[in-house]
A and B are shown apart, each in its own frame.
Chain A
Amino acid sequence: MTQQHSYFMRWTSRVVMLSMLAMGLPLQPAFAGIVETDQVVSHELAGQDRARINAFIDREDVLSQLQQRGVTAGEAKARVNALTDDEAHMIAGKLDQLPAGGDIIDALIFVFIILLITDILGFTKVFPFTHAIKR
């Protein structure tokens, strides 16, 4: 009985293994060397996100807010470059929600700027990507 059972198991497992191999085989060689479209797209989108955040930092009203608090545009941009793609996307998404054509710093920008600056200066730790300035 046990003998029979182990034969059965051995053959079943062989059949299963072979069929799994066969499922994987035909796809493997053909597409092995191709870089997928979504890999390229997400890289391009991340570049756009960073460019948008940098453009935001370059806005006159934003720059003056940064300067008033002792952070240079260069320091802020160095942080932007250190963002992961996901983080850049999150921040750029927040910028998207700003009202179009608005020329005053509203509450959202203000909060964003304050948190970014205080993070950089080491008073808070809201954004995972900011690194406090070592003095």
Chain B
Amino acid sequence: MFFRDARFLVGVFLLFLGACATPPQTRLVLDSPPVSLPRRAELAEVPYFAQDAYQCGPASLAMSLNAVGIAVTPETLKPELYLPDRHGSLQVEMLAAARRNGAVAYQLAPELNDVMHEIAAGTPVVVLQNLAFSWYPVWHYAVAVGYDLDSAEIILRSGPEQRQVLPMRTFEYTWARSGYWAMVAMPPGKIPETAEPNSFIAAVSALEKISGPERVQSTYIAALKRWPGNLSAQIGAGNTAYRLHDLARAEAAFRQAAQDHPDSVAALNNLAQTLADQARYEEALEAAQRAVSLGGPLAQTAQQTLADIERAMKK
């Protein structure tokens, strides 16, 4: 029912489109494709789950999770995702369900370019499309698994079609109406090709809260390698090591952070705490005093750390 409706509407829609020009992102990528982007790519090995009516959310997420080695079926995801009275799944629920299954759920920048870069790097991309009109939305999740710049096409695992080939501009029109929503699910230790460091670390930290530090440790190590000077990556790596009682690694990360970002209260404070836990109070005291002297919104935490160290030294 859903698909018959959707297809009819897409048909009607395409008639309208016939007269329109190529949408901006498609035009941009076809006219001046980035040199880093191969002419074509297809992830043929991404598994396919056919879907029942309205089940495109669980099916799409299951495909993307299985592609990175997390074995789930649409049926197991359904209770986490499907909202019966909405006949579908919300975007935030898609991200949360990926996380609950142990993946870092990262929302891509709203760029067609980035979707293709991810595919070229071997990562399938879950996309949200509005197949009809803004005033009569037919929402649909699919998995983008391939593209071809020469024939201007996008290849999707979509609903009942294992290999749907859409003209790039049609894809852009349907995707634009979802606000260019796209996500990838990453296994431990892997970073999306197009990831922006701070947004990615936010996604890792969100996973860490429900999975615990062990699951994300390798991802932080990879993040430090990719963005050596990034404060969020340094603090994240240090905090995770600290939680795993790997104080040497934590100390190294915080020390580097404090060196690269001398005005970061967080780096100095966490360094002080890590040193204090090793009973190296003199060094800890110095770091804590520097943290306190910087002031700012974290001043209270820094003062607390300093007071704790001073109390420990009196004992």
A→B interface (CB under 8 Å): 30-45, 48, 96-97, 99-102
Contacts and interface: CB of A to CB of B under 8 A. Distances in A.
B273 A45 contact: no
A37 B236 CA distance: 5
16 contacts: A34-B270, A35-B266, A35-B269, A35-B270, A37-B205, A37-B236, A38-B202, A40-B231, A40-B266, A41-B198, A42-B202, A44-B198, A45-B199, A100-B24, A100-B110, A100-B111
Contact of A33 (B198, B208, B264, B308): B308
A33 B24 contact: no
A44 B110 CA distance: 20
A92 to B, nearest CB: 12
A99 B179 CA distance: 10
Contact of A35 (B24, B27, B202, B298): B298
Contacts of A38: 202, 205-206
Interface of B: 24-25, 27-28, 109-111, 179-180, 198-199, 201-202, 205-206, 208, 231-232, 235-236, 239-240, 242-243, 264-266, 269-270, 272-273, 276-277, 297-298, 301, 304-305, 308
Given A32-B308, A33-B305, A37-B239, A100 B25 contact: yes
Contacts of A96: 109-110
Contacts of B264: 40
A100 B276 CA distance: 49
B110 A37 contact: no
Contact of B28 (A40, A42, A45, A101): A101
A35 B298 CA distance: 8
A45 B269 CA distance: 20
B24 A41 contact: no
A34 B242 CA distance: 9
A103 to B, nearest CB: 10
Contacts of A43: 297
B265 A41 contact: no
Given A33-B301, A34-B242, A44-B198, A39 B276 contact: no
